[in-house]
Structure 1
Amino acid sequence: MAKNWNYNENKNKIIIDPPKQTLRITGHRMSSVLGLNEYQTPFGAWCEITKLVKLPFEDTKYTIAGKAIEPKLIDYMKKKLPNVVSIEDYYGNVFEDFRWNNFKDDSKIYGGVIDAVTTLNDKKTLTAIIECKTSSHPEHWSNGMVPTEYLLQGALYSYLKGLKQIIFVCTFLNDIDYAHPENFEANDSNTIIVIKKLNDLIFEVNGEYLNIEGCIEYGNNWWKSYIESGISPEFDETKDKEYLDIIRSSDVTKDTPLLKACEEAFELSRAIKQAKVDNSIDEMEKRLKSLENSIKQEMIDSDTVMCGNYKLNKQVKKSFREEDFAKEHEELYNKYIDIVESYRLTKGKGE
């Protein structure tokens, strides 16, 4: 975290300088912005879009399976509909220009990556967005239902491309499928297709019922209120704990009085020093340093490159003799001298 931050007066929002570079509201973040994502709040989306915080990401069995099975679902759809192509094949030779954002020419705020599309016979004119999904919960897709997060994602992408419908293809996996997604085959018994018309979609946002245009307008206003201002939405101590922990760890004095932080740091330093004494760490470190210095010198003297688990690496580099240069060229040396302030934190002898 490189950005400076502070609290607002009520200590329920984070304030940063208005960001010069941002990420976009993607299909995933759209539901977060609208408060419809159970896994991420508007504050979490704000943290990511402003680049204040990015949570560590690790692949899970679900993400691994999704990546492995997506091409299989596209192949499945090719058997069901004409002119189905992956987004990579659609952009062809210019795919690298659109790899990370398929909407860079459509919006300055919204973005994302499409899974696949259908086209007219000219292979250029889009007719529908195809979103490929995997799930272990078929009940979430019963009777033509689509989970809200996915529905918003597809609606956003279709709207930005000026299309009137979204095609969802979802395949249902069991434990063995997640264990070996490379062996999975999509077929009519484990896969469904759901088609939604954009004009039929209504989303409940803060007690109001919005169509996709209303959601886009909400997102535009949200962007102006929070992204352009650098002032976050209100955070929730429980739901936003991961983001807040990372933010607060970058400057503990925002939540802890300076004197208290000093006292805590000093006591922690003493405890670490005592732990080293109790476990003879200092003596072991001194012995290790002595041994390695002796090993290094002996290997140099004997022209030995490898010894046990140790390898001697030789480096040759130029060294600038600053003192000699200053004596011989004092005027030129002083011309390039700058006064730079630096600070060093030291502890008292009470340790």
Structure 2
Amino acid sequence: MVEQFRIHIADEVLDDLRARLLHTRWPDQIPGIGWTQGTELDWLQRLVSYWTHEFDWRIWEQRLNTLDHFTWEGIHFVYKRAASGRGIPIILTHGWPGTFLDYVDMLPMLDDFDVVVPSLPGYGFSPRPPQVGINYRYVAERWHRLMSKLGYSSFGASGYDFGAGVTTILALDHPESVTGIYLTTLESDLTPIVDDADLSDGERSYLSVNRSWDATERGYSAIQSTKPQTIGYGLNDSPAGLAAYMGEKWHSWSDATPPDDFLCATLTLYWITQTITSSMRDYWDNRFYPVDRSYVNTPTAFGVFAHQTVSEGEPPRSYLERVYNIHHWTVFPRGGHFAPVEEPVAVAEDMTTFFRNLR
């Protein structure tokens, strides 16, 4: 049953958060080292000070409650109908360490669409089922059922990071329903499997850069795909620790780090719902319950942004054409891994162009 949902967090939860921030125990840092060993101390102290003394969750809560929120079988989602009353239906899926907030600024720019923005299981207001195997395919099936419940027999889909993985499997498993997909990142678990001898020089160069990035930057993925519970205790107990862990990703993977107010809203949403540990289980479930890789015949669009740090450098179109039926390819001079947050106008306009042309 689809039920309306309204956000309201108790005062004592927010008071406890502020008290913990005020009593942060700070580690030392080697002078002049910057971000070399992880989140820079000065940057984090400034962000935590803003979170403690200037950020106002109630303003965000009021803004978010102007949107139409619903829940269905444990899934929270925002639902915005097109200005005309019946638009192109589309479901937008965030990644990690994001939330449904990633698409809030884009919503007014998508007037041609009936937009559904769910929270992934284990993120924000969507609890994660107490079981293993909540992988791309599990979520994709839920999304298909949700769109059917809302009355859409055919629809488009878009996403980044884990959202790109869910979107890909949604198209693969339900080609009769998914009219097209728009991706702003390639999900690393779904990259082509290609013999080295069959790669072009450009593809080899791209993969070499990715391997170098993996060697120095993918420690988070190693622990989250093996022992998410262990790291979860500290992150669930210390808001400053949570800010350090998530803030490093936003800083490193963005072309321009989003504003402090947005970062603190995202951090607060993870904190008040206690979902950092459950969100990290995405890595474990998709590692130990992998999905089959197959060619996606559904018309596919890629928005390629300049600083897609998790797949550093511009992926060659030929490489992705080994997996996707690419109809639309746009390279942007700015933006990074969190493109819907960093460049919402560019994403909204390119997405609109793609789906209009499909019609």
> TM class, shorter-chain normalised?
under 0.3
Task: State TM-score, norm by structure 2.
Answer: 0.25
| Larger-Rg structure | 1
Task: State TM-score, norm by structure 1.
Answer: 0.25
